[in-house]
Amino acid sequence: MADLLTHLLVPYVLLTVASWRVDWLDQRGVVVGMGGAAIPDLIKVRIVVDESTVETLLRMPFAYGPLSTFGGILLLAGIITVAFERRHWGRVFGLVTFGGLTSLLLDGMRVYADGRASAWLYPFTNWRPPTPSLYVSSDPTVLVVAVLAAGTVTLLDRRMRARN
Amino acid sequence: MVFGTVTDTSENGIEIRAESDGTAITLRVTETEAAVEPGGVVQVYGTLEPNQTIAGERVEVVNSSRWAEFYKYGASAIGALGFLLLFFRYWRINRDTWTLEARDG
């Protein structure tokens, strides 16, 4: 997967641009969407806490893999949503899910030697979508592009808000 | 297709350590000229042959060396820290109800 910084910057760019047209979407909402983009990266918790350790604690089979799938995003988005005040629930759920999906889409475009990305649409389908194989996860170009895009959008955003 | 960490490189191929479900095996990948150092990570798509050998049809270098791994974790750590700072600029925890509420909202 792309690094976490890139994952966060993609929904920042998309949602900030959307906020120029969508009245209810403000910077608070943009930040919530960025949080959703971090969900697929929670899979990396396994470096710290091994799956077998969690299995022993829960006394049931456990895997981190589904966190990087559509189903995992929906489940975690639900859990995150209820941590917010009730009046924000609808928008928070939508924004977190959106952010998570941008990460999955971005990860679905990286290189796989057999030309097909992981089955990230699980549990809706086990089909592995074809990947355009645009980058490998350690390629700094991805982050450079994301940082440049985010910088440009930040400047434009300031100008837009100064005008209003 | 397997993912593996490169343990050795030589003229006629590379040796990788692939792990699956907690079991690790060492595989020899032939017919590849991938530019990778030991400690790097590769994806190998090819034909499995006897003696734990894969004839590499397509080999993709994910991390060319250990440094690539550090780069990723570094960028991710900056991302995590920046996000937390940004998030708590717009939201705060209400300690009476234990919910997240908007600042000045």
Confirm if A104 and A76 have CB atoms less than 8 A apart: no
Q: What pLDDT is stored for residue A68 in this prediction?
A: 96
What is the tens place of the pLDDT at every residue in A126-157? 999 999 999 999 999 999 999 999 999 999 99
Residues of B within an 8 Å Cβ radius of A: 1, 22, 43-45, 58-64, 68-69, 71-72, 75-80, 82-83, 86-87, 89-91, 94, 97, 99-102, 105
Q: What pLDDT is stored for residue B92 in this prediction?
A: 95
B72 and B22 together in one domain = no
- By residue range, what is the domain housing residue A129? 2-163
B88 and B54 together in one domain = no
Please name the residues in contact with A38: beta carbons below 8 A apart, sequence gap of 6 or more.
A4, A7, A8, A99, A103, B80, B83
Would you call B97 and A137 a contact, using CB atoms and an 8 Å cutoff?
no
B71 and B49 together in one domain = no
Total-model pTM: 0.91
Confirm if B65 and B74 have CB atoms less than 8 A apart: no
B24 and B42 together in one domain = yes
Considering its fold, how many domains does chain B have in total?
2
Helix or strand or coil: residue B97?
A: coil
Average pLDDT in the B9-29 region? 87
Would you call B79 and A140 a contact, using CB atoms and an 8 Å cutoff?
no
Residue of A nearest to B43 (CA): A113
Q: What pLDDT is stored for residue A83 in this prediction?
A: 97
Q: Which of A8, A38, A113 sits opposite B58 (nearest CB)?
A: A113
Q: How confident is the model at residue B31 (pLDDT cuts 50, 70, 90)?
A: confident
Is there a domain that residue B85 lies in? yes
Is there a domain that residue B86 lies in? yes
Q: What pLDDT is stored for residue A34 in this prediction?
A: 98
B48 and B74 together in one domain = no
B89 and B41 together in one domain = no
B36 and B7 together in one domain = yes
Is there a domain that residue B102 lies in? no
Average pLDDT in the B5-33 region? 88
Q: What pLDDT is stored for residue A156 in this prediction?
A: 97
- By residue range, what is the domain housing residue B80? 67-96
Mean pLDDT by 10 residues, chain A (164 residues): 94 97 95 97 92 93 94 97 96 98 96 94 95 93 97 96 86
Considering its fold, how many domains does chain A have in total?
1
Q: What is the ipTM of this complex?
A: 0.89
Is there a domain that residue B104 lies in? no
B18 and B46 together in one domain = yes
Average pLDDT in the B52-75 region? 91
Residue B104: how many other CB atoms lie within 10 Å: 6
B105 has pLDDT over 70: no
